[in-house]
Amino acid sequence: MKLEKKDGALLVAIGVWNVVIWGNFAKNLARTAQDPDQHRPAPYYVAHAVLIVVDVLLGGLLARLGVRALRGR
């Protein structure tokens, strides 16, 4: 399958969006973990940390594919 430049731009936008949104969520999750008024079980933080890592990696992969499509490779 050959990606066109418009497809590459969309992939880059989606990748950047994923990294920004999940990065912000990670910051908020860390802030919540340090708040003594927020009592959540440890599996809550583990599950969300796994989601953050996976989605940031996927966002990076999509952005990389998008950049390759924009360069014409």
DSSP 1: -
pLDDT of residue 47: 96
Band of pLDDT at residue 73, cut at 50, 70 and 90: low
* 3-state SS track over 18-62: HHHHHHHHHHHHHHHHHCCCCCCCHHHHHHHHHHHHHHHHHHHHH
Give the start-to-end residue ranges of the domains of the chain.
5-71
Report whether pLDDT(72) > 90.
no
What amino acid is encoded at 37 in this protein?
D
Given a contact cutoff of 8 angstroms between Cβ atoms, the answer to whether 29 and 45 are in contact is yes
10's enclosing H/E stretch is: helix 5-34
pTM to 2 decimal places: 0.82
Per-residue pLDDT tens digits for 13-70: 999 999 999 999 999 999 999 988 888 899 999 999 999 999 999 999 999 999 999 9
